[in-house]
Structure 1
Amino acid sequence: MDAPEGIQQPHLVLANKLFLLTHPDVQDIEKVRLKEEVLEAVKTNDMAPLFETLVGQSLLDKDQNFSESMGSKIEEELKKLDEKIADAEENLGESEVREAHLAKSLFYIRIGDKEKALEQLKVTETKTVAVGQKMDLVFYTLQLGFFYMDFDLISKSIDKAKSLFEEGGDWERKNRLKVYEGLFCMSTRNFKKAASLFLDSISTFTTYEIFPYDTFIFYTVLTSIITLDRVSLKQKVVDAPEILAVIGKIPYLSEFLNSLYECQYKSFFSAFAGLTEHIKLDRYLHPHFRYYMREVRTVVYSQFLESYKSVTIDAMAKSFGVTVEFIDLELSRFIAAGKLHCKIDKVAGVLETNRPDAKNALYQATIKQGDFLLNRIQKLSRVIDL
């Protein structure tokens, strides 16, 4: 079941194909090819449980003979695995018993039987002593979680891994966990934490089983752009040698990052338009597509307005290579949502920034926290009086 080093796990490759097969923006001719590849993967790995699910979703055509053939192969393989477990328990040592149980766990993962795979992984854990090997079982569980996008399972597995590290654990597995947790954070819209974890893992990345290094850099740049300040973006992303070595291989990504930092807004919007298709067709980013689009535009508009006390709408529209009407509508929405600190003088055709004063903001925060503290003290005094 282990993929060779540097190769993505086959079932996660399959998960991406299944996602694209159900995506409305993927062309029908492409879906025909994807359907053939999915069926081939199901046949190769005897994925009878997954086949039944896909038939139920009308993604694959029902084939009784095919189902029965896979079922008989699975029964035969399970019989061999059970015999191997029994032999190990009777004649061999604890290490061989664990390996036999692990083989059965990986078999259930391979055929796409989630519930039985999780049960067998728990059984394998009872036969496992070393912390590192227990961590490996958690990684298998996490891969299952990402295949089914089961965020509850992923969250619990990450917590379990962290508690295991309190008992020990090596540096390489700790770094691998950062990437898994970063992917979980990105998938659940916690882009700030995802960016931090990805940036920590750039020079130590070995987690090829969940995605290639190019994809990792793609996620790192996208999450960093909407969460890092300008100085941090320059230090950690724009000038990072690991990112510079790869970013040119990903269409539009280099222009997207550098044009933002260099304030070339027309080029930025052009690159952003090119990237939207990539983001929309990404399995982990797709649910957050609209949110990410808004956040990126908030960042770029805020950066532009930072340089001005006031600026004409016409000048801003020309800088971004769009119409005055488009900018007017865009800014109206962001101002109403409290995302931008400025106001539009429609008569004069001017934007006036009204950035909140830092001292005033600190004063308001102090008053708010002071009121909260007084309320807590009053509640406490009533309890003490009783």
Structure 2
Amino acid sequence: MYSSSLLPLSVASSSASLLPNDFFTRISQFMLFDSSSADNEEELKKLDEKIAYAEENLGESEVHEAHLAKALYFIRISDKEKALEQLLLTEGKTISVSQKMDLVFYTLQLAFFYMDFDLVSKNIDKAKKLFEEGGDWERKNRLKVYEGLYCMATRNFNKAASLFLDSISTFTTYEIFPYETLIFYTVLTSIITLDRVSLKQKVVDAPEILTVLGKIPFLSEFLNSWYECQYKAFFSAFAGMAEQIKLDRYLYPHFRFYMREVRTVVYSQFLESYKSVTVEAMAKAFGVSVDFIDQELSRFIAAGKLHCKIDKVAGVVETNRPDAKNTLYQATIKQGDFLLNRIQKLSRVIDL
């Protein structure tokens, strides 16, 4: 599984992916530090001395570097609050927009490490404001990956897919996860958000994705079997992908939701080819039992996810796709009624 190799200490190595056990081992290693230990007190004293010396004798660049070194040390010993305080203090000693952006990236790494998505959101907004003052394309592209990860972790899969796709050819954000993980996230988010034509152009035929796809277990089968309508192979790969998603710290909280969305997409694609189809034929196509398909379809129909109905007596599934013009007409009527009610309420207030 290509789990996120996000570390609180700044830049990880390039393309080597961390297994889940390695990832949590590193977390535990950081947590072993005691911020009140004698060794840490001694190290902090040295850093304070370097800061004092830089402020008295050196220039702005050296002062910035001295304060940053202390902030990174707090990150290393997993003292979140002091690290954030020191990063803000370092920002006050920083003039360059690029250096301020780097401080935001350090804060984002720390926020993702602690799954503090409120802090992530605030710093993404802060980074965008900094870019209005200037900033290079490399940092802008890095921010897309951070924002895409935030969107995915907060269940905004549509925006996450768009940001990940934009980042494929410019990816340099190895400090939060390797390139293979970006492809993993891109395929997973795209398959439930893009239409079939867009998925073909941006994902299935994308050279950058094709070079990595085979390195990630089950991912190639998962994507290609879905696109090629090989539903039995898709369900087989789907089971393997489910185990990988369970191991991902950002996708696991949305595991049940994502599983439902994937099944909705694949059932909709299958039924789109038929006006009616027997439940038995559908079960055979997916390599599952008739009872399983019956229960699955009943659940999704009741939730309004699938536009079809089951004739239990005949054992047939009949599709009833909504007419787009009729749907728009009904929405217009509903909005019109809502507007009239608001106007009536307003008129009563004016009369008073």
Same fold (TM over 0.5): yes
- 1:158 maps to 124
Instruction: Provide the residue aligned with 2:166 in structure 1.
Output: 200
Kept in 2, the 8 Å contact 1:199–1:236? The answer is yes
Partner of 2:230: 264
CA distance in 1, matches of 2:281, 2:274: 12
Match of 1:86 in 2: 52
CA contact (8 A) 1:19 1:283 kept: no
Distance change >3 Å, CA 7–CA 259, structure 1 → 2? closer
Q: How many residues align?
A: 344
Measure how far apart 1:165 and its partner are: 1.2
Contact 1:312/1:351 (CA < 8 Å) preserved in 2?
yes
1:253 CA displacement: 0.3
SS in 2 for 1:351: strand
Distance 1:102 1:47 in 2: 19
Q: Which residue of 2 aligns with 1:250?
A: 216
Matched, 1:358 2:324: yes
What is the aligned partner in structure 2 of residue 220 from structure 1?
186
Cα distance change of structure 1 residues 38 and 206 upon mapping to structure 2, 3 Å threshold? closer
Within 5 Å, give how 1:71-110 maps onto structure 2.
71-110=37-76
Q: Structure 1's 216 and 233: CA in aligned 2 closer, same or farther, altered over 3 A?
A: same
- From 366, 374, 380, the equivalent of 2:340 is 374
* Counterparts of 2:272 and 2:299, CA distance in 1: 18
* 1:344 has 2:310 as partner: yes
1:130 matched to which residue of 2?
A: 96
Secondary structure of the structure 2 residue equivalent to 1:48: coil
**Relative contact order higher in (CA < 8 Å, ≥ 6 apart):** 2
Contact 1:7/1:209 (<8 A) preserved: no
Look up the equivalent residue of 1:290 and give its one-letter code. Answer: R
- The one-letter code of the counterpart of 2:11 is A
Shift, 1:133, TM fit? 0.8
Go from structure 1 to structure 2 and tell me whether the alpha carbon gap of 1:327 and 1:171 turns closer, same or farther (over 3 Å shift): same
Report the secondary structure of 2:133's partner residue. coil
What CA deviation, in whole Å up to 9, does each residue of 1:13-38 have, x standing for no partner? 79x65986xxxxxxxxxxxxx5xx66
Distance 2:320 2:287 in 1: 25
**What's the CA shift string for 1:342-370, capped at 9, x where partnerless?**
11111100000111111110101111222
Matched residue, 1:3? 11
CA distance in 2, matches of 1:311, 1:206: 48
Amino acid of the structure 2 residue aligned with 1:48:
D
1:209 paired to 2:175: yes
Aligned CA RMSD, in angstroms, stands at 2.1
SS at match of 1:245: helix
Kindly state the Cα deviation for residue 256 of structure 1 after the two structures are TM-superposed: 0.4
Q: How far 1:377 moved relative to its partner?
A: 4.3
- Equivalent-residue separation in structure 2 for 1:205 and 1:116 (angstroms): 31
Runs of 4+, deviation exceeding 3 Å: 16-20, 372-386
Question: Could you list the per-position Cα deviations for residues 86-142 of structure 1 after superposition, in whole angstroms to 9, with x for gaps in the alignment?
Answer: 001111111111111011001100110000000000000101111111111110000
Alignment of 1:28-177 (within 5 A): 34=25, 41-42=29-30, 47-49=33-35, 71-177=37-143
CA contact (8 A) 1:8 1:209 kept: no
Q: Distance in 2 between matches of 1:243 and 1:113?
A: 38
Q: Give the secondary structure class of the aligned counterpart of 2:309.
A: strand
Cα distance in structure 2, aligned partners of 1:38 and 1:145: 14
Distance of 2:341 and 2:101 partners within structure 1: 45
Measured in 2, the distance between the counterparts of 1:241 and 1:156 equals 35
Partner residue, 2:249: 283
Distance 1:5 1:325 in 2: 49
Residue 174 of structure 2 aligns to a residue whose secondary structure is coil
Q: What corresponds to 1:302 in structure 2?
A: 268
Confirm or deny: 8 A CA contact 2:98 2:136 kept in the other structure: yes
Distance 1:285 1:190 in 2: 12
Unaligned runs of 5+ in 1: 21-33, 50-69
Amino acid at match of 1:336: A
Q: What are the superposed Cα offsets for residues 10-64 of structure 1, whole Å, 9 maximum, x if unpaired? A: xxx79x65986xxxxxxxxxxxxx5xx665x349xx6225xxxxxxxxxxxxxxx
**What percent of counterpart residues are identical?**
80
- TM-score, normalising length from structure 2? 0.92
Structure 2 distance, partners of 1:217, 1:130, is 33
* SS of the residue 2:84 aligns to: helix
* Equivalent-residue separation in structure 1 for 2:173 and 2:342 (angstroms): 47
Distance in 2 of aligned mates of 1:259 and 1:330? 20
Alignment TM-score, normalising by the size of structure 1: 0.84
8 A Cα contact 1:345 1:352, kept in partner: yes
- SS of the aligned residue for 1:298 comes to helix
